[in-house]
Chain A
């Protein structure tokens, strides 16, 4: 009975999970495109609330933006019959790419936050200085991070299937 229910869930084209993945994919593609466009000079960098795109260097915004676009496209490619293994894998791969960009952004902040500034005589940053380095604004990938946690559910259901 449970098996049949699962089948029905897999066969259904539009599910709440599918809608979530579609929306996530669309936003991810939009964020990735924004990264690239700002880098290309369409806008001289912008900040909206806690979201900021500096667009000042090729590596982070053009190359990184391309990866975010790919992540969104992978999610969109897997948004129908999302619980099937093949489709889930595409969504998970998209999530992994977002985690990779967000992870490197956070790691870059961490590495910049540990030492004191160039002009300071001290070697290590103060605690308040360290914490201040993690204050907003954030890059699009970091903002996407909490919203991609739903993808962990897809990993979990297939993990349960395997065991």
Chain B
């Protein structure tokens, strides 16, 4: 576009030319752009428009949201659980990889064997807990398919235009816990990985909202890796664990909203039309997200197992288990052996749940310990991102976290005692 004669050239302090437009010239440009981009005509509502409206109205929108969540979870379990992990990975890792590692690695009594291959008597990669057995199985056999399908579904929801509608629909509910509709973005992202979810809290306007969201993410939103492991090792209990987390999310969200001073402003959401996602964009987003996740997940899983095994070898975990036994056994109602997985949870929560699955426990103890692992300290990758958002917020979030773990763990134990299951 050619600037009009009213354009005046000036020079800034650095000597570079700066274009200064008069008010008339700006309006001329606005008119020119409008002529080229805006089409005038009579608006005619389409079927897509009406469907778009129906998915935002609570009466019709809530069943659609429930159905979308169902489809999301169903595809996730069928692909990641039934097809990839149970169908191929378990067979490969338990039937070929583990026996091969156990046969070729020398001296099963050595500490190097313990670190890299793990328990020489183990029949499955979950039990072995070596860096090259459980570590590779968890990261490639369980986490990778779970994360891949999760991000695919997430991208489709995003690119089809459903996510902004979900934000509008959830607005009134999330306002009750000090957030607004767009908080659904970090929440759903957190179900994939808490790291991008913490970054996505920037979408929220006030400090109060960001703090509440970050704390709730660290506490009550299990990541895709954790979900994948939960599905593999305790498929019948995932529903109960999720129920405990959803209830906790609501209760502690409301408490934080009431206690923390600050504003909770309304938002104006631009809701686009429904459209078919462009497959090139979907592929690009999927690749970027999965690549980013793998870069940090695989090294952390392997490193996590190495550190935990070293702590076991050094007797640190046994010492901590003895020290914390009264709290774990009396207050939370779980065995003292869960101290080890809780330490592993700081490195990778999925790893911790895999470790929990090898400890003999009652159903209640398993549910309680998995909930504790989820709401306990965020994994180190999330911790680092939270630190980047501000150390004061991080310290406050950790303080809240310890209080919530203690209180909520005790409440779950209390409910277990009342129901006669603890």
Contact = CB atoms under 8 A, between A and B. Distances in A.
Interface of A: 58-60, 63-64, 66-67, 70, 74, 85-86, 88-90, 92-93, 97, 100-101, 103-104, 107-108, 110-112, 114-115, 118, 123, 155, 158-159, 162
Given A111-B79, A123-B91, A162 B66 contact: no
A104 B50 contact: no
B82 A111 contact: yes
19 contacts: A59-B73, A59-B74, A63-B70, A64-B70, A85-B45, A86-B50, A88-B50, A89-B50, A90-B60, A93-B64, A97-B64, A104-B78, A108-B82, A111-B78, A111-B87, A114-B83, A118-B91, A123-B92, A155-B47
A90 B67 CA distance: 15
Contacts of A89: 47, 50-51, 54
B36 interface: no
Contact of A107 (B45, B75, B88): B75
Given A97-B64, A155-B47, A158-B46, A115 B87 contact: yes
Interface residues of B, number: 29
Given A93-B55, A100-B71, A162-B47, 11 more contacts: A59-B239, A64-B70, A86-B50, A97-B64, A100-B68, A111-B78, A111-B79, A111-B82, A114-B87, A115-B86, A115-B87
Nearest to A162: B46
A44 to B, nearest CB: 19
A162 B73 CA distance: 35
B58 interface: no
Nearest to A122: B91
A70 B63 contact: yes
Contacts of B392: none
Interface of B: 44-47, 50-51, 54-55, 60, 63-64, 66-68, 70-71, 73-75, 78-79, 82-83, 86-88, 91-92, 239
Contacts of A114: 83, 87
- Interface centre among B67, B79, B82, B87, by most A CB within 10 Å? B67
- Interface centre among A74, A85, A110, A111, by most B CB within 10 Å? A111
A104 B51 contact: no
Nearest to B47: A158
A92 B60 contact: no
A101 to B, nearest CB: 7
Nearest to B62: A70
A92 B47 CA distance: 9
Given A67-B70, A115-B83, A90 B54 contact: yes
Contacts of A60: 74
A12 B13 CA distance: 75
Given A67-B70, A90-B54, A111-B87, A97 B44 contact: no
Given A67-B66, A90-B60, A85 B50 contact: yes
B75 A104 contact: yes
Given A85-B45, A112-B82, A93 B70 contact: no
A64 B78 CA distance: 15
A97 B83 contact: no
A70 B62 CA distance: 10
Given A67-B67, A111-B87, A115-B83, A93 B51 contact: yes
A97 B63 contact: yes
A4 B362 CA distance: 71
A100 B75 CA distance: 11
B237 to A, nearest CB: 12
A60 B78 CA distance: 12
Nearest to B44: A162
Contacts of A85: 45, 47, 50
B75 A93 contact: no
B275 to A, nearest CB: 14
A111 B45 CA distance: 40
A27 B87 CA distance: 36
B93 to A, nearest CB: 12
Contacts of A112: 78, 82-83, 87
Contacts of A64: 70
- Interface centre among B47, B68, B83, B86, by most A CB within 10 Å? B47
